[in-house]
Amino acid sequence: MDLLLIRHGQPERQELADGDVADPPLTDLGRQQAVAVANLLADENVTHIAASPLRRARETAAPSAARLGIDVSYDPRLEELGHGGASYIPNEQAVASDDKWAEYDANPLFMFGQHGGFDVFRDRVVSAFDDLVASHRGQTVAVFSHGGVMGTYIMSIVGYDWPFTLQNDYCGLTRVRAASSGFRSVQSVNETLHVRGLMATRDVQ
């Protein structure tokens, strides 16, 4: 079967009061990116759509679900690392003075701390994809999730446990061929032709 891994579109920056959990919507650009994905998937014979329940992933999946007439199944195992904080700052807006990014520069794996460590997060992500493979043999499944989730899964396939090697653009598409025997092969990484002209630029202000 074929897995089509799609990162969410560009989200808004969201900074809430302590105790609240940031779950930002897409920007106008992000919604345009999501429509571009729907146009692409119209020709991919998709039979099932899965997504992270976080808002940016749900909103990215919505145009594809409407276009294809497929209900979305949501799996919390596909949620991004670091979810649960009061702020969400898109990568292209991050600057060195942000505490989160200063910690990341010092030790990227700190982001997995609230998940029980990298191994626990990786096993959670892999189990979500393994369940999709087992229940959708011979089908094409579109999975809308996050950069950390996708990077972790792809690196697990190639046998390299460093999830930050693979960087996915907003609404970038990565293809994985998966067999029920356990064999996995990466067919492509971060396809972005469908969002040409809709790429986010880095904001360093």
C-alpha to C-alpha distances, 32 to 8, 54, 165, 198, nearest whole angstrom: 11, 18, 27, 8
User: Per the domain annotation, does 152 fall within a domain?
Assistant: yes
Q: Tell me which residue range forms the domain holding 170.
A: 2-195
Here the tokens at position 141 are: 């499944």
DSSP state letter for 201:
P
Query: Could you tell me the CATH number of the domain that includes residue 137?
Result: 3.40.50.1240
User: Per the domain annotation, does 203 fall within a domain?
Assistant: no
User: Per the domain annotation, does 204 fall within a domain?
Assistant: no
Q: What's the CA gap between 50 and 47, in Å, rounded? A: 10
Here the tokens at position 32 are: 């345009």
- Under 8 Å between Cβ of 21 and 160: no
Q: What is the pTM of this model?
A: 0.90
In tens digits, what is the pLDDT along the chain, a chain of 205 residues? 999 999 999 999 877 777 778 899 999 999 999 999 999 999 999 999 999 999 999 999 999 999 999 999 999 999 998 766 766 777 777 655 566 666 666 666 766 766 678 899 999 999 999 999 999 999 999 999 999 999 999 999 999 877 788 889 999 999 999 998 999 999 999 999 999 999 876 543 3
User: Per the domain annotation, does 133 fall within a domain?
Assistant: yes
**Which residues on adjacent β-strands are paired with residue 142?**
4, 49
User: Per the domain annotation, does 201 fall within a domain?
Assistant: no
Sheet order of strands, 48-51 included:
72-74, 48-51, 140-145, 2-7, 173-178, 184-191
Q: What's the CA gap between 149 and 156, in Å, rounded? A: 11
**Which residues on adjacent β-strands are paired with residue 7?**
145
User: Per the domain annotation, does 200 fall within a domain?
Assistant: no
User: Per the domain annotation, does 21 fall within a domain?
Assistant: yes
- Count of domains for the chain: 1
